[in-house]
Amino acid sequence: MTDAAKLSKVEHIKIESRQLRGSLGSEIMSDVDHFCSDSEQLLKPHGMYQQDDRDERKAKNADGTAKGKQYMMMVRTRIPGGRASAAQFLAHLDLCEQYGNDTLRITTRQGFQLHGVIKDNLKAAVQGINRTLLTTKGACGDNNRNVMCCPAPIKNNTVFDEMQVAADQLAEHFTAKSTAYHEIFLTDESGTTQNAAEWQPVEEPIYGKTYLPRKFKMGICLPEDNCIDIYTQDLGFLAVVENNQIVGYNVLVGGGMGVTPSAAKTFPAVAKKLAYIQPDQVVGVAEAIVKVQRDFGNREDRKRARMKYLIHDWGIEAFKAKVEEYYGQSLPAPHAADVTGVDDHIGWHEQGDGKLFLGINIETGRIKDEGELRIKTGLRTLLKKYGMPTRLTALQSVILCDIDPKDKADINQLLAEHGIKQDHELTLVRRYSIACPAFPTCGLSITESERALPGVIDQLEVELSKLGLLAEKIAVHMTGCPNGCARPYTPDIGFVGKTLGKYTIFLGGNAEGTRLGFIYQDLVPQEELVKTLSPVLLQYKAERKPGESFGDFCARLGKEALKAE
């Protein structure tokens, strides 16, 4: 492990935090509208980020003086596999109105986010989430975050049940044992606080005193449906199915999207195949991998603290040898199975038990009422009337499950009344698009993403229509900075914020998420993104091979050939 004298500032904060307590307990009760910088870091493993309203940064008081930062919190709910009951979903819709900015967001990792929660309401918001039997604990920070899983609610098929069970087991196993979360956020004013002199440390058998060097992400999926972008995860389990049964998993390690453009030592990475394991080995192998990252990941430089850098520096064989040492036995070579397809699960589908499920596209994941599109009211109406369970997707959409076929017509009518479009009314390029929140909430964002992408897709649809390409599955991911929260380095087209109003365009990935794209053009103004892509789309129409996707075409030709045209 890194010499203590060389640890980064965040590592020292964690060490001195008394298992993630710090001064959070006293600060949350104070009248100050924000937390101190050290506490900002400690909020994260409890599922919260301190932010400020960037639209208001230049706001003035009546006397002309600057108002200063308008602080607010983002609160993220951890939901393994995106599986939420109607009651849990409805409660979050209520909480966003009680304590947030009236909108609820579905994340690219199948969770919920409340935005705009002021510090005075933070504890009440967290308690409201926990009353639904969900939690924010571990949703952010230097620990294992929400475990992703294919959300298709297929019944009478053990494959889907087993994947969800594995996701739940991983989520539970890698939850920190510290009681700080309960003491700080789930007790009332008369309850225990983290400042009590008699606080008792608990054993953290996986995380130890300093937790992980950086965030850690896990996911589970099928080869024919990589709907959770398994190659972008720190740790992925690709199910190998024979005779409708999971016979094992290919273990993938070292994915990660975050980049610091000014630091050449950083880069995005897709995961590498490590081994093939039996279903009953999933938790044990995962623990060995996490512990290797815990003990050998970079704790000096947070820019290089993700597991992808450890694997890059060591090589996959040396990394595997260390995992085998920690696990206590050798691991077989990977199975031949690999990703072959992807599904957004939008539209009506047979569920396998006589019932139906319906995938509803939520553009950029924002559940709100705006003009004729009343997504929030529409979903509230449906969930109250039918009480169906739901699943959240990695493309920021929602699946309504267990629908009686006799209710299909009424549900279609309710959707139409609220302006909510269904699969046949949406282009594939819109269905396979996602964005990070960016402005005005995220402190890391350099430019727009969520608020910009719908307009970019509008323009792209016009261009694709002119070329007769609207039926093509083209995935577009946009982020407001290079941190990569919306996984912009693996789709057909990635737009990554570089400076205010300008983006780097990445091409050559694919909708299946198995390949990194390349930089096609840098510093492109937002209003010129589609114009810049038009010649490439035209070339694709003229020169593509039969059945070749846009991303595959770009990867085959490469940057120079595309530029030459």
The answer to whether residue 436 is catalytic is: yes
Residue of 217, 366, 431, 498 marked active site:
217
Enumerate long-range contacts of 321-324, CB under 8 Å, 24 or more apart: 322/292, 322/296, 323/274, 323/275, 323/285, 323/288, 323/289, 323/292, 324/288
Beta-carbon-side half-sphere exposure of residue 500 (alpha carbons within 13 Å): 2
The answer to whether residue 485 is catalytic is: yes
CA–CA dist 84, 65 (Å, integer): 46
Contacts (Cβ under 8 Å, ≥6 apart) of 13: 22, 38, 41, 42
The answer to whether residue 145 is catalytic is: yes
Residue of 436, 473, 487, 554 marked active site:
436
Residue of 442, 473, 487, 554 marked active site:
442
Residue of 14, 21, 76, 306 marked active site:
76
**Residue type for position 218:** M
The answer to whether residue 481 is catalytic is: yes
Residue of 145, 214, 291, 366 marked active site:
145
Burial classification of residue 533, based on how many CB atoms lie within 10 Å of its CB (0-12 exposed, 13-18 middle, 19 or more buried): buried
CA–CA dist 183, 437 (Å, integer): 30
Beta-carbon-side half-sphere exposure of residue 107 (alpha carbons within 13 Å): 24
Contacts (Cβ under 8 Å, ≥6 apart) of 383: 86, 89, 90, 390
Residue of 96, 149, 481, 554 marked active site:
481
Take residue 447 and report the two structure tokens written for it. 């430019």
DSSP state of 146: P
The CA-based dihedral angle spanning residues 537, 539, 545, 547, taken in that order and rounded to the nearest 10 degrees:
10
Region of 324 (left: φ > 0; alpha: ψ -120 to 50; beta: rest) is: alpha
Residue of 83, 137, 215, 366 marked active site:
215
Q: Is the dihedral of CA 393, 395, 397, 401 positive or negative?
A: negative
CA–CA dist 453, 459 (Å, integer): 10
Residue of 140, 221, 227, 485 marked active site:
485
Known catalytic residues are: 76, 145, 215, 217, 436, 442, 481, 485
